[in-house]
Amino acid sequence: MSGEAKRVEENGPAVSSKDRPADRDGTVHDEFLQDQLVKTSRTFALAIPLLPQPTAREVTVSYLLFRIADTFEDASVLWQRPQQIAALDQFVELLQEPSVEKAQQLAAGWLADPPTDHGGYLELLGNTPRVFEAYLEFSPTAREIIERHTIRTAQGMASVVERTDDGVLRLADIQDLRDYCYIVAGIVGELLTDLFILDSAALAPVAEHLTERAALFGEGLQLVNILKDSSSDSTEGRNYLPAAAERSEVFALARQDLRAAAEYTLAVQKAGGPDGVVLFTGLPLELAWATLDRVERDGPGAKLSRPEVFRIHNRLTAAVKGGRPAVVIRSSSGV
């Protein structure tokens, strides 16, 4: 799902699920959306199906919209900076005035000079109109949440692209790193939290508690990814680890954030929130803890094996079904 750098802001109100129209559940889009999810994300393809409806559908579309914006931000190899910024601006305008026809026009233009060679991302860009078809069937409140947060991220990504030099991004210090994490992950945490609260009346009593930790949750997950991928990222011109910061500082910050994420997941569980939301938040948290331990021990590039991922998944599922705490709040050492 950054912390003191930019605190959680503009979170939508807790709105009852009675707000959504009863005759437009969007199920006709589910097979397409799941196919696009599998082709563009391994982690989210595993986690999103754990969510109840309509949250799963809303989160899937949100992820795909963020993935489109992220494709433009990452396009520095094939696109020049003005082209990246122009595409992000076009995407923001499309969110502000969503139209399937406009999405068709923009998608054709983006693919005429592809920003990436990733097959799944290119297919998603071509299917932008279908993503917007699904988005337009959501309730007005769900659309407002998704629009507001996705626009903030796309605009933040444009500001990141603006400061790259010949496709190379360098972050100055820990504060700069946290600002970046907020743009690409903290806002995601806020978006997800707003949707969880919208769709589950049980979370209303803990809405403020969740909101206070939403951006930290995203920051923690992003920091783990940055630490894990630091070597490969640097070869591609993305220097997310500031030269002025000790690596140990980033590990410590990640652990601090993951503790806040554990508090978030346990609050959902104790409030009687949907088991799917507990699993959805608990799974990436537990994977992040295990990955962080592995990277700290073995260095950048270390990752969990598929059997390890499934063991964590099964352990978490058993805990939730058995009524036991889904996760634990670890000490500063991670133990």
| pLDDT(10) > 60 | no
Q: 206 near 271, Cβ under 8 Å? A: yes
Q: Which domains does the chain have, with CATH numbers?
A: 28-165 (1.10.600.10), 168-335 (1.10.600.10)
Q: 99 near 132, Cβ under 8 Å? A: yes
pLDDT digits (tens, 9 = 90+) for 117-160: 999 999 999 999 999 999 999 999 999 999 999 999 999 999 99
pLDDT digits (tens, 9 = 90+) for 242-295: 988 999 999 999 999 999 999 999 999 999 999 999 999 999 999 999 999 999
Q: How many residues does the chain have?
A: 335
CA distances from 181 to 3, 157, 239, 282, 333 (A): 9, 11, 13, 20, 22
What's the CA gap between 318 and 324, in Å, rounded?
8
Tokens of 77: 């190899």
Tokens 């279908």 correspond to 130
- Give me the sign of the Cα torsion angle 157, 161, 167, 169: negative
What's the CA gap between 59 and 314, in Å, rounded?
23
pLDDT digits (tens, 9 = 90+) for 55-71: 999 999 999 999 999 99
Tokens of 259: 């503790």
In this prediction the pTM is 0.88
pLDDT digits (tens, 9 = 90+) for 18-49: 333 333 455 667 899 999 999 999 878 888 99
Q: How confident is the model at residue 331 (pLDDT cuts 50, 70, 90)?
A: confident
pLDDT digits (tens, 9 = 90+) for 226-243: 999 987 776 666 778 998
